[in-house]
Structure 1
Amino acid sequence: MLADIETLVTCESPSADHDAVAVSAEVTAGVGAARTGVLPERIVVEGRSHLRWRFGEGPSRVLLLGHHDTVWPVGSLATHPFSVDCGVLRGPGCFDMKAGLAMAFHAIAALPDPSGVTLLVTGDEELGSPTSRALIEDEAAGRLAALVLEASGEGGALKTGRKGVSLYELHARGRAAHAGLEPERGVSATVELAHQVLAVTTLADPALGTSVTPTVLTAGTTSNTVPDHGRFTVDVRVAARAEQDRVDAALRALRPVLPGAALEVTGGPNRPPLEPAASAALFARAAAAAARLGLPEPAGTFVGGASDGNLTAGVGTPTLDGLGAVGGGAHADDEHVLVAELPGRTALLAALVAELLAEPDAAAGRSARRGSGTPTGERP
């Protein structure tokens, strides 16, 4: 497993670099095929490379989900080389989430019969999954479960909830005028935006886990001109779908304050929340499986960051996230994986998948695999 992680980590794959991600897809396909005995389908959407393994000829019942792109630019290995020292594995993207991919391959290989499993590995998750979202939602719809190989929470906790994300831009239009000669003729986009920033911040509700945060703000062109345009961005995080809808409606209801100003709101919900109800039954199964394996009882945690697990939960599929590596430092200089945790976590994943596959066929009959004419993979 360590050798496989090294192969994956030492192939750099920053999300925005199509060529690097394409090379990473080939490397990932090779590692996965060597472990599972099945070649994946290569799916390229708008230049971005995704991989899909389908095992067996029957309907897909369990979706394993991960990504092979990272936030680290090409050249990061020079400053953050792959290493394993004193039980700690390091390297760009090791925790988020290339170790999770290796775990998925080894868990599938450990199953007596992986028929009914689909493994989807996308190449644009760190960008918000712009080209893979439809693919993820289509693969998840109607499945018994989606198991997400994102890195664990603190101390190895499974991620039983994630906040939903909405992203907006508010554009203000005013009227330009000379700031010294006739400022009264102008309508300041900066002042309009100041009013709107204050209005936007009132939409937060910390008691419900809702944050509404104005972030980047720009306005005007020169220091002696009343600015006629400006904009700011807003990051919204919510724990519940109802809050996402409430904030969206409130933002779209904003109106300009200054006479003569105009206001436009663009953007909207990016990912629905992964609410705890979507993961409760799977978390209970994982806890029971850990007990049978003699592993520590897993903790559950609700986190503010989003993943593709938000998308699978959004189409109504029971979803458990954070099943990947234990460690820390995602996106940071101290990114690392605890080697001693890898075997147990992989065994837990395999046990959970096996239990789900053993469900009676009637429970899985909600949907047959979509795109039944697509090859299920070839033996290398």
Structure 2
Amino acid sequence: MTDHDATARLAADLIRIDSRSSLSNLPVAERLEAELPGFAIERLDFTDANGVAKRCLVAHRGGPGGLALSGHMDTVPDTGWTDDPWSARVDDAGVLHGLGSVDMKGQVAACVIAARGLSADVPVTLLITTDEETTKEGARIIVEQSTLARDAKLAGIIVAEPTGLVPVRGHRAHIAFTAVASGVQAHSSLGIGRNANWALIPFLAEMKTIFETLRDDPAWHDAGYSPVFSDFNIIIDNHGTAVNVTVPVATARIKFRYSRGIDPSPILAAVQAAADRAGIALHMAREGTPPELPADHPLIALAVAASGRATATVPFGTDASELSVLAPCVILGPGTTATAHTPHECVALAELAEAVPLYRRLLTEGARGLA
């Protein structure tokens, strides 16, 4: 079986297994482990905040040193899909369709096929995470608990998110805010309830000011990224309350993405102060710091030389924000984010296959040492 066929087969098998972040990913982990005979396997099991069983995989073959390939097993929800999200349909143009095809089960398949086909004398590590789309808990657990990853003494990590095989040297990280206003539920006509939205609205007005400042004030811009302004995206939830009921709980969730050149401390302080003024509860969840390597870093230079593409930065985030504690990270994978997180997610099988020899070249060169 050719690398193209093996990658296509494994990618399709992974897509057919529903592993939205709200579900257990154990079936995907077991399917991947079956593809790695001869590798030392470390299973890192945990239970997420909702009581769902999850598993990360670390696989290693060979001695210490060299590079790792990393990808995640979970997907976003199937919002908006009208076709079967788990069909793994391949159209006449050789494009693979399905939830997770480009973000990032196709890339995980390419990583596994690349690692499995390497010469046995080349050290290789696979860091396969879960919950990347939500909390990045899987990546943190690998950093904190993996003996195999620590003993591998990695010189670098290739995070195989879709970049069009452009070596990405840096991206934004995020802080998640959850603001909760409380009211008293009652029939709205009686005048005895208290609508939680009235407490939330002043807070939202201040959040709009922060959003506009981040977007419009050059002092908050980072010219090394496109767009230059930080993301400050808000979702509002009344948890299904009917229009004739005073809202008992109103929740606003904000994702603040910032690059390494931006100090997030004033934003954190401003959000907290606004919550205090409005009398609402605020929870902050912060992932690792934004990863960013200089353009002349040896790992970036290696990736640029091997791919033939200039390095770049991207506005989204990956597990590199956590994994960079283990080793320097470059984000480099086939496909693009153009259809990721949409009901039309897809990736060309030829692009997945193109990544396999590139990953092998990087792993082989990386094993010789980074200058």
TM-score class, shorter:
0.7 to 0.9
5 Å-filtered alignment, 1:235-254, equals 235-240=255-260, 242-254=262-274
- Contact 2:85-2:99 within 8 A present in 1 as well: no
Partner of 1:64: 69
List aligned pairs for 1:304-343, cutoff 5 A.
304-313=315-324, 315=325, 317-325=327-335, 328-343=338-353
Matching residue of 1:198: 205
Cα RMSD between the aligned structures? 3.7
Residue 224 of structure 2 corresponds to which residue in structure 1?
none
Alignment check: 8 A CA contact 1:14 1:72 kept: no
| Distance (whole Å) between structure 1 residues aligned to residue 251 and residue 144 of structure 2 | 32
Is residue 57 of structure 2 the alignment partner of residue 51 of structure 1? Answer: yes
Question: Shift in Å at residue 197 of structure 1?
Answer: 0.9
**In 1, are the aligned partners of 2:107 and 2:352 still within 8 Å (CA)?**
no
Structure 2 distance, partners of 1:253, 1:145, is 40
SS in 1 for 2:235: strand
- Looking at structure 1, the residues matched to 349 and 182 of structure 2 have their Cα atoms a distance apart, in angstroms, of 55
2:139–2:319 Cα contact (<8 Å) kept: no
Task: List runs of 5+ in structure 2 lacking aligned partners.
Answer: 48-52, 222-228
- Please give the alpha-carbon distance, in whole angstroms, between the structure 2 residues aligned to 1:55 and 1:79: 32
1:372 maps to what in 2?
A: none
Q: Which residue does 2:232 correspond to in 1? A: 212
Q: Would you say the 8 A contact 2:129–2:138 is kept in 1? A: no
Say which one has the larger Rg. 1
Cα distance in 2 for partners of 1:85, 1:177 equals 57
Looking at secondary structure, tell me which structure has more helix per residue: 1
Identity of aligned residues (%): 25
Which of 3, 6, 10 in structure 1 is aligned with 2:9?
Answer: 6
* 2:287 matches 1:270: yes
Q: 1:341 to 1:226 in 2, by over 3 A?
A: closer
> What's the TM-score once normalised by structure 1's chain length?
0.74
CA apart distance, 1:266 = 0.9
Q: For 1:1-380, what aligned pairs fall within 5 Å after superposition?
A: 1=3, 2-10=5-13, 11-16=16-21, 18=23, 21-33=25-37, 37-38=38-39, 40-46=41-47, 47-56=53-62, 58-71=63-76, 77=84, 80-83=87-90, 85-113=92-120, 115-136=122-143, 143-153=154-164, 156-173=165-182, 189-204=196-211, 205-206=214-215, 207=218, 208=221, 209-218=229-238, 230-240=250-260, 242-254=262-274, 256-257=276-277, 262-277=279-294, 280-290=297-307, 297-313=308-324, 315=325, 317-325=327-335, 328-359=338-369
TM-score by length of 2: 0.76
How big is the shift at 1:320? 0.6
CA 1:347–1:172 in 2, change beyond 3 Å: closer, same or farther?
same
Unaligned runs of 5+ in 1: 291-296, 364-380
Q: Give the residue type in structure 2 aligned to 1:64.
A: L
Return the alpha-carbon distance in structure 1 between the equivalents of residues 240 and 43 of structure 2: 46
- Contact kept, 8 Å, 2:172 with 2:290, in 1: the verdict is yes
1:108 is displaced (CA, Å) by 2.2
